[in-house]
Amino acid sequence: MPRALHIDTQRLGNRTSLSHSLLILLPSRHFGDLAFEPSLPACSTVLENIRRVFPDPTVFGAWQRLIAEELLLRSQTGGTIPDDWLAHFGSTSPFDDLPAHPLSRLIEAPAACALFPLATLDPSSAPATGRAWAFAGHGDPLLVSPIPAWGGNSGALAAWLATKALDTDPVCRRRLAQDWLVSGESMPDDNRVGRIQLGNKLALCTLSPNLHKRLWLLPADNRDDLPLRFPGRGYRLAYDRSSAWNHITGSGMQGEGQGSWPVCKAYHSFCSGAREPALAGALLSVVASPDIPVHLWASSAEVSRKSAVDVAFILEKLGTGLPIPHTIDSADMRHAEAQLVEVLEPVLETGAKVLFNVTQGNRLMSFAVHSLARRFENLLMIYRDCDADMFEFTMIRYEGGTPVTSVMTGTPAPTQAQWNWKCLFTANGNISPAALLENIITNLRKNETENAYQET
């Protein structure tokens, strides 16, 4: 869980005596103003003004930590820290929880930051921005708040996004830190984004140029709480952490290139019409993961049930064992997903990988598998395109809600090398299962006959 920190900017006093230009440069409740300034004045000038207004050494030290935190964000999002600023603040630790990690050390390590809005109970007091920081190799993310004794879990989504952003490129981390205000509850083991109390958070849009230009990322459950005329740049709604991440990245499907057939705990396949994709996927899966169970899913349609029976017959004859049959609703997606959950969830919750061939079946059945795969990243879907090369399937999996595809190539076992694999990657028409089985092993029997003749 994220660790919550509090930097007491309430103690920093009334800043109304400061010049407007200095207000912009002093970080406090409107975090980010300093980090994204195009250029910074001489560090000595700013320090002199702070000392004049806040002579208390404790308060001055709090300002230094806040400025060091803003400079860290400036560095992590591609900005340059002037030499005089780094010389003064380089030895300052921005976080009380990391006293052994001064600014000069933290700027060398990957970090990600997400800003989240904080409401105040006192309507006469302006809202503020909290910060979720994630550092490579430093455990749980840190939640930093300028509001004492703040409660709730509305910074949890920001913490999750910051942690997720650590594994991405600097452009994505910059986008998260610079372009968004994130608010949403999120539990560690739950993909959903929970409703939050808006309070006076939206007033942030008018308090700072840096905040006015940001997009807001809010839970979809808060849709009805938003004004018709949104005071800021705009907002996006997240139904779950996956959709939140897709909003931040602004990207869709990702590609991983070529890959080998994965080792899995089980193989599942829809059956309908063409039998070859289900057969080829099962046979290649058993090679990669010997003795895994094969599950065949059929709807109530006659063509689907007959296809499943034929595939089961052929697989048993080829030595994979008798597949396990299942029935799936092809008209009600919610019911179809419930049927899949009942069988798959106990295995997926162990973390084991499961392969599901979605080539056959209708789109509704396929959508039900996709819905489950978004919750369990260890559910891998495969699809056989009729124009693909032999032994090639497209694999689709979800990572942080983003679909990731690759081309997967299977390898027959030595004992299967002489099979007529070509017939498993082409349409054989509506021939009997016995005839299809004969087509598969034709080459093998031919070679066996030739070998026997040569031996005599």
Between 450 and 233, residue with greater pLDDT: 233
377 or 277, which is more confident? 277
**Average pLDDT score over residue span 239-247:** 82
Judge whether 218 and 212 are in contact, CB under 8 Å: no
Q: Coil, strand, or helix at residue 82? A: coil
**Residue 359's pLDDT band (boundaries 50, 70, 90)?**
very high
Going by C-alpha positions, the residue among 272, 337, 345, 269 that lies closest to residue 306 is: 272
Asked if residue 360 has pLDDT above 90, the reply is yes
Which is higher by pLDDT, 322 or 59?
A: 322
CA distances from 14 to 10, 49, 53 (A): 9, 14, 9
**308 pLDDT above the threshold of 60:** yes
pLDDT greater than 70 at residue 113: yes
Which residues contact residue 127 at a Cβ distance below 8 angstroms, ignoring those fewer than 6 apart? 29, 117, 118, 119, 120, 199, 200, 201, 203, 204, 207
Is the pLDDT at 345 greater than 90, yes or no? yes
pLDDT in tens, 122-150: 767 888 888 899 998 877 888 887 766 56
Q: What b/e string do you get for 164-173 counting C-beta neighbours within 10 Å, with b at 16 or more?
A: bbbebeeebb
H/E run at residue 312: helix 302-317
Taking the C-alpha atoms of residue 88 and residue 82, their distance in angstroms, rounded to an integer, is 10
The domain 254-413 having CATH identifier 3.30.70.20: the answer here is no
Q: To 5 degrees, how large is the angle CA 418–CA 419–CA 420? A: 120
Q: Kindly state the average pLDDT of the residues 311-332.
A: 95
Question: Span 104-123, mean pLDDT?
Answer: 88
Pick the most confident of 34-43, 361-370, 440-449. 361-370
Give the per-residue pLDDT at 434. Answer: 94
Confidence of residue 12 (pLDDT cuts 50, 70, 90): very low
Percentage of residues in the chain with pLDDT exceeding 90?
45
Torsions phi, psi of 370, nearest 5? Answer: -60, -40
Q: Taking 80 as the threshold, does the pLDDT of residue 194 lie above it? A: yes
Reply yes or no on whether the pLDDT at 398 is more than 90: no
Phi, psi of 196 (to 5 degrees): -125, 165
Average pLDDT over every residue of 417-440: 90
Cβ 132 vs Cβ 116: under 8 Å: yes
Rounded Cα–Cα distance for residues 328 and 338 (Å): 9
User: Would you put residue 257 in left (φ > 0), alpha (ψ -120 to 50) or beta?
Assistant: left
Q: What is the reported pLDDT for 366?
A: 96
Give start and end residues of each alpha helix (H) in 77-137.
Answer: 83-89, 103-106
Percent of the chain with pLDDT over 70: 86
pLDDT of 203 over the 50 cut: yes
| Mean pLDDT over the full length of the chain | 84
Q: How far is 50 from 59, CA to CA, in rounded Å?
A: 10
Which of 345, 385, 351, 355 shows the shortest CA–CA distance to 268? 355
- Would the pLDDT of 361 be above 90? yes
Q: What is the pLDDT of residue 429?
A: 82
**Contact status, residue 270 vs residue 368, Cβ threshold 8 Å:** no
Helix intervals (H) in 4-56: 20-25, 43-53
Instruction: Band the pLDDT of 33: cuts 50, 70, 90.
Output: low
Contact by Cβ (8 Å): 225, 141: no
Instruction: State how far the Cα of 153 lies from the Cα of 130, in Å rounded to an integer.
Output: 12
Which segments of the chain belong to CATH 3.40.50.11700? 254-413
3-state secondary structure 176-206: HHHHEEECCECCCCCCECECCCCCCHHHHHH
User: Using 50, 70 and 90 to split pLDDT, how confident is the model at 36?
Assistant: confident
Which carries the bigger pLDDT value, residue 76 or residue 366?
Answer: 366
| pTM of full prediction above 0.75 | no
